[in-house]
Amino acid sequence: MNPFHFQSVPPPHPLGPPQFPMLPPDPPNSSLFWQNRNVCEHLRELQDILNLAKAMQKELEMLMMIKDGKVSLEDVKHGSNEPYLPGFLECLQDRRVNIESQESLAVEAANYLMSKLRSQLEPFRYVANEVSPWEEKSAAAKFANKVYKSKRNKRWRKKKRKRIAEMLAKEREEFHCIDREADEWRAREISKDVANCKVEKMKEIAKIKAKEEKRKLEAEVNFLFVQMTGKSLLNCGLC
């Protein structure tokens, strides 16, 4: 017994299931397809379709798990290995859609996506075919060569920017080195000047001290001379 079987309530104005447009099995191929902008847009659409296909695959897997009874309501309440399963079941309950109806819509949407995917891949398959016209292969080869040249030019510009950046960094380093050496030389010269000034001041101070010592010595000599002269005169007078 399926624990997730919901009874759908029909709306006041019932609508039929969504009708997806049918795609031609073999879209026309032309060398005009291999224009740069056209191919980029085509690849972008192809990536979107692949993302939708992955999401649709996940939805179908969850529907199969619910339908086969591999998960129960208790598993969903207490946590499941599928993180999106509780939200998916809540969405079905809010919309009052049963599993069979949702599965039918999902299968129809998946078939449409597969048809769309085949249509998007057809130009590439057409070129890979051995019996395809040489004009088509030539256009694809020109596009591939253009892409290769574009990537090569990007790599070359990247290397050039890197080389220029390295040269500028080297020049800045050399400039900083020269500037640092100049600062060191300037500091040494200033230190020499300061040392020379100190030496000159010390010499001047030494000269001043020498002069003062000389004056003191002369004063003492004169004083002694005066004393000795006075004593001599005194002795002569006594005689």
Give percent above pLDDT 70 in the chain.
Answer: 74
Specify if 35 maps to a domain. Answer: yes
Residue 170's pLDDT is 92
In the predicted structure, residue 16 carries a pLDDT above the cut 70: no
8 A C-beta contact, residue 49 and residue 117:
yes
99-128 vs 36-67: helix crossing angle, rounded to 10: 150
- In degrees and rounded to multiples of 5, residue 84 shows phi and psi of -90, -10
Specify if 181 maps to a domain. Answer: no
Specify if 117 maps to a domain. Answer: yes
Residue 3's pLDDT is 44
Whole-number average pLDDT of the chain: 76
Residue 161 confidence class, pLDDT cut points 50, 70, 90 = very high
Q: Is 137 left (phi over 0), alpha (psi -120 to 50) or beta?
A: alpha
Alpha carbon distance 205, 61 (integer Å): 102
Out of 79-88, 153-162, 180-189, pick the least confident: 79-88
State the DSSP code for 1: -
Specify if 100 maps to a domain. Answer: yes
Residue 17's pLDDT is 46
In the predicted structure, residue 26 carries a pLDDT above the cut 50: no
Q: What is the pTM of this model?
A: 0.44
Specify if 54 maps to a domain. Answer: yes
Residue 61's pLDDT is 82
**Which of 66, 62, 60, 63 minimizes the C-alpha distance to 110?**
60
What count of other Cβ atoms lies within 10 Å of the Cβ of residue 106? Answer: 16
pLDDT tens-digit readout, 111-122: 888 888 888 887
Out of 89-103, 178-192, 215-229, pick the least confident: 89-103
| Structural domain harbouring 115 | 1-7+20-130
Structurally, the chain folds into a number of domains equal to 1
Specify if 213 maps to a domain. Answer: no
Alpha carbon distance 122, 128 (integer Å): 10
Alpha carbon distance 155, 149 (integer Å): 10
Q: Is 15 left (phi over 0), alpha (psi -120 to 50) or beta?
A: beta
8 A C-beta contact, residue 39 and residue 139:
no
In the predicted structure, residue 49 carries a pLDDT above the cut 90: no
Alpha carbon distance 103, 88 (integer Å): 13
Specify if 73 maps to a domain. Answer: yes
85-95 vs 36-67: helix crossing angle, rounded to 10: 80
pLDDT tens-digit readout, 206-234: 999 988 888 888 888 888 888 787 777 77
CA atoms within 13 A on the CB side of 46: 13
8 A C-beta contact, residue 82 and residue 58:
no
* Residue 33 or residue 145, greater confidence: 145
Residue 37's pLDDT is 79
Specify if 208 maps to a domain. Answer: no
CA atoms within 13 A on the CB side of 155: 6
**Which of 135, 1, 138, 140 minimizes the C-alpha distance to 66?**
1
Residue 175's pLDDT is 92
